[in-house]
């Protein structure tokens, strides 16, 4: 074991405005310690954003269409840095707690969650560097790392497509893989055949790219899209080696006035949506359904979790927020949670939520954001032991970068590398 450097106290902090993968401004923070260690953090933002996420502070006005983050950067330089100077980066929890107190609002709207989270990540990376160990080992606190099973958002609908179909993600998971690198290769190979499958059915016009780097939905019937995915797995000689999943992102087609869903040209109530999803689950053996109902309908989530024998995953429902997760656990609402650390605004809070989910038998699904950058999520996912992860489709630089991080971790672990796929679905 390498010895820690002697003085990992914060000496310098710099912040700047950079662009995310969607060309939108985001905060980036560098932290240096007195022993020369350095960490960098930034705060990605999603396209599909939950109403209860921590607040992303934007400048407004004409500059960058109102999306600038200069005020958040000012808050880092003039409020956060002076308060943290001289603090040890090894005290992640204490630093995060202090930033929460400095902000003083329930959703981090004063300083901006994008400012606070960027500092939180930079501090963690500086701490890992001061200990001369990878971030996933530093955050994992000695637990045996387990590589997650990657899921791929192959066909994009809803806000990620052109709204031809309401559901946002049509997912394939290579459950027949024996290790992470094999699962990634299988996903890439099926994605390659998917393009040919779509072209045969719909012609060149069907090959539009969605916001999550997959193909935009070429059809408006969910069942038809699921059939396309199954056809692509067969064309790649992987029949029976993948499982299907959905992200409905139901809040985006929910009408709060009549409390129904504008779905497939009709207004459907909660029970009708549950019945429809139950039919798809039985017909296609769906292994997971994310955000099947509106994000505040805890009672509906309780009902659908009881009725469907599959993973019911809360993303907008929980927003990686411990208090919302506690409410869900108490009711039996959902049985899995999307893990997006920036949603809640500090690394400590996110990891507390992950620990509570695991303690109460909720599966963790790690996820990146649509507007990613130099994102530590792959390492944090390994650190908390999330058995599933999704970074969109297997193309586009910022998404491939996350998969490559997991490949490097697998290589570093060597023969000791564990993979969650067989643990969840049995050995291939």
Rg (CA), the chain: 21
Residue 1 pLDDT: 44
CATH number, domain 146-425: 3.20.20.120
* Summary mean pLDDT of the chain: 94
Residue 369 pLDDT: 76
Tally of CB atoms within 10 A around 355: 14
Return d(Cα 356, Cα 350) in angstroms, integer: 10
Return d(Cα 425, Cα 138) in angstroms, integer: 29
Return d(Cα 293, Cα 376) in angstroms, integer: 29
Return d(Cα 272, Cα 282) in angstroms, integer: 15
Q: Over the stretch 87-113, which tens digit does the pLDDT of each residue have? A: 999 999 999 999 999 999 999 999 999
Count of residues in the chain: 428
Return d(Cα 383, Cα 374) in angstroms, integer: 17
Percent above pLDDT 70 for the chain: 95
Q: Is 137 helix (H, G, I), strand (E, B) or coil?
A: helix
Q: Over the stretch 39-90, which tens digit does the pLDDT of each residue have? A: 999 998 866 666 889 999 999 999 999 999 999 999 999 999 999 999 999 9
DSSP 79: I
Please check the confidence at residue 420 and state whether its pLDDT lies above 50: yes
Q: Is 367 helix (H, G, I), strand (E, B) or coil?
A: strand
Model pTM score: 0.94
Are 30 and 40 in contact by the 8 Å Cβ rule? The answer is: yes
Return d(Cα 345, Cα 270) in angstroms, integer: 31
Fold that domain 10-132 belongs to in CATH = Enolase-like; domain 1 (3.30.390)
| Residue among 358, 366, 423, 362 at smallest CA distance from 389 | 366
Please check the confidence at residue 2 and state whether its pLDDT lies above 80: no
| Residue among 247, 409, 267 at smallest CA distance from 340 | 247
Please check the confidence at residue 374 and state whether its pLDDT lies above 80: no
Q: Matching CATH topology for 10-132 and 146-425?
A: no
Are 346 and 99 in contact by the 8 Å Cβ rule? The answer is: yes
Q: Over the stretch 328-346, which tens digit does the pLDDT of each residue have? A: 999 999 999 999 999 999 9
In the chain, how many H helices and how many E strands? Answer: 14, 17
Residue 160 pLDDT: 59
CA torsion 188-189-194-197 (nearest 10°) is: 170
Percent above pLDDT 90 for the chain: 87
Are 251 and 260 in contact by the 8 Å Cβ rule? The answer is: no
The full set of domain ranges for the chain reads: 10-132, 146-425
Dihedrals phi, psi of 199, to nearest 5 degrees: -65, -40
* Residue where the block lists tokens 């009902």: 303
Q: Tally the C-alpha atoms within 13 A of residue 24's C-alpha that lie toward its C-beta.
A: 21
Alpha helices (H) in 85-221, listed in sequence order:
92-103, 113-131, 135-140, 180-202
* Residue where the block lists tokens 């329930």: 106
Q: Over the stretch 203-261, which tens digit does the pLDDT of each residue have? A: 998 899 988 889 999 999 999 999 999 999 999 999 999 999 999 999 999 999 999 99
Return d(Cα 213, Cα 199) in angstroms, integer: 17
Please check the confidence at residue 3 and state whether its pLDDT lies above 60: no
Please check the confidence at residue 146 and state whether its pLDDT lies above 90: yes
């Amino acid at each position: 074991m390498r010895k820690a450097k002697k003085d990992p106290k914060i000496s310098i902090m710099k912040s700047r405005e950079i662009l995310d993968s969607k060309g939108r401004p985001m905060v980036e923070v560098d932290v240096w310690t007195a022993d020369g260690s350095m960490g960098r953090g930034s705060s990605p933002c999603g396209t599909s954003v939950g109403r209860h996420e921590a607040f992303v502070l934007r400048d407004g006005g004409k500059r960058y269409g109102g999306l600038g983050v200069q005020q958040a950067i000012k808050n880092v330089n003039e409020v956060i840095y002076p308060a943290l100077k001289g603090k040890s980066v090894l005290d992640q929890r204490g630093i995060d707690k202090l930033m929460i107190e400095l902000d003083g609002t329930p959703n981090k709207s004063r300083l901006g969650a994008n400012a606070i989270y960027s500092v939180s990540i930079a501090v963690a990376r500086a701490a890992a560097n001061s200990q001369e160990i990878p971030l996933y080992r530093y955050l994992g606190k000695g637990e045996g790392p387990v590589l997650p099973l990657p899921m791929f958002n192959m066909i994009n609908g809803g806000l990620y497509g052109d709204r031809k179909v309401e559901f946002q993600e049509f997912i394939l998971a290579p459950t027949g893989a024996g290790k992470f690198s094999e699962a990634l290769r299988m996903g890439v190979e099926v994605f390659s055949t998917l393009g040919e499958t779509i072209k045969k059915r719909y012609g060149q016009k069907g090959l539009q790219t969605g916001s999550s780097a997959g193909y935009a939905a070429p059809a408006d019937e969910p069942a038809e899209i699921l059939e396309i995915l199954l056809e692509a797995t067969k064309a790649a000689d992987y029949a029976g080696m993948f499982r299907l999943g959905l992200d409905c992102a139901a809040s985006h087609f929910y009408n709060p006035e009549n409390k129904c869903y504008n779905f497939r040209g009709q207004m459907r109530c909660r029970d009708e949506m549950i019945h429809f999803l139950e039919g798809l689950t039985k017909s296609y053996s769906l292994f997971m359904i994310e955000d099947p109902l509106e994000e505040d309908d805890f009672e509906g989530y309780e009902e659908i979790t009881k009725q469907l024998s599959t993973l019911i995953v809360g993303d907008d429902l929980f927003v990686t927020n411990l208090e919302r997760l506690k409410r869900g656990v108490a009711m039996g609402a959902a049985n899995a949670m999307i893990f997006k650390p920036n949603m809640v605004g500090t690394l400590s809070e996110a990891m507390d939520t992950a620990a509570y989910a695991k303690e109460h038998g909720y599966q963790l699904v790690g996820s990146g954001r649509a507007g990613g950058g130099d994102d530590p999520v792959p390492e944090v996912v390994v650190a908390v032991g999330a058995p599933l992860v999704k970074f969109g489709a297997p193309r586009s630089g910022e998404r491939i970068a996350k998969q490559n991080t997991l490949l490097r971790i697998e290589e570093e672990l060597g023969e000791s590398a564990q993979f969650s796929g067989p643990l969840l679905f049995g050995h291939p």
